[in-house]
Chains A and B, each alone.
Chain A
Amino acid sequence: MSLPKLDVQLDEKELMILASILLNEPTTAYRIAVENRMHFSYVYKKVERFEQEELVAYFCEPGNGRKLYYVLPKGILLLLSRGAVNARLVLDKLRDRWGLKDFTDDEIMALAELLVRNYKAGMPINDVVMMSYSLYTRYLAGDLTVHGYRSLLNKLFRRAFEALVGLIGDECLRECGKAISTREYV
């Protein structure tokens, strides 16, 4: 399935670095530099930009404190939309990072396509609850074409809103959990 290009401006070299992080994650700026024959300072500059664009994040390795970078869903979608990585290789990563364990490969791919087609600057893609809220409010405002995605979106919204209500408390979830999980949102 081909995806339209996500509206984030990265050149070919930056795409290569981002793909290198994805294929080796979690990984360090040092390792990316060595593998791509780039100066550490050059890679660091690119990774800083990726962080600001919310394409990557990092955690510190216990013990030596090295920064280990990994690609966020927004970065994965960007690589996917530019044909820089094989879709089959990244579906598991997207499913894992969104916490959508019972979504099939086709559903994850359809969600990726929907997000890329409807992407707007600042749209929350990395957090599944915020992403769902954003999609739902746009649907209510008539700013989202749901044709072909109705079943997927209902499943997504049920999951996300259950998680959201669960944050408020178990009692709240018990009271309205059934309504949330059976409701047709779109």
Chain B
Amino acid sequence: MFIPLRRVLEKLREAVEVEGAPCDPATLDLQLSDDLYLSGLKAVLKAENGYKCREIGAVSEAIKTLAYPRIVEQRPLRTLKPPYVELYEDARKYVVLGIYEDAVYMTEWSGIRLCCSWIVDMDVGAYTSAAAVLREFIESS
């Protein structure tokens, strides 16, 4: 199971653009991209003429679960198990979360070369559940 966060955010933006309603969010809890935020259980899109919101429920919680991967310690490369969540990717680098034994690992790759591998402060159960919610979201029509 491989879940690119970029795809989640693209789909979220589309959903708010198409199905969202004008709103005035009390707070913006978490910034996801230049114009996309979370406010409670809503996704919020900032446009020139104001905000549009759409209720996204569990998807909001899943994104928040993955928002702050605090590094605990560096570890040698392990063969990680799924689910894999890709937090970042560009033409030369990508950052992926995965599981080894009872810990969530974050790995940073440059092409096929591993740059770094760390254990992050994230509960395996919470991570697995969040990944499942995000997979269901991007696979839904």
Q: Which residues of A contact B (CB under 8 A)?
A: 11, 13, 28, 30, 33-34, 36-42, 44-45, 48, 60, 63-67
Contact = CB atoms under 8 A, between A and B. Distances in A.
A33 B30 CA distance: 9
Contacts, number: 63
A65 B30 contact: no
Interface of B: 5, 28-34, 63, 66-74, 87-88, 90, 93, 95, 116, 118
B90 to A, nearest CB: 7
B73 A45 contact: no
A30 B68 contact: yes
B34 A48 contact: no
Contact of A48 (B31, B63, B74, B93): B93
B43 to A, nearest CB: 12
10 contacts: A30-B71, A33-B68, A36-B31, A37-B28, A39-B63, A41-B95, A44-B95, A48-B93, A64-B72, A66-B118
Contacts of B5: 41
Contacts of B68: 30, 33-34, 40
B31 A42 contact: yes
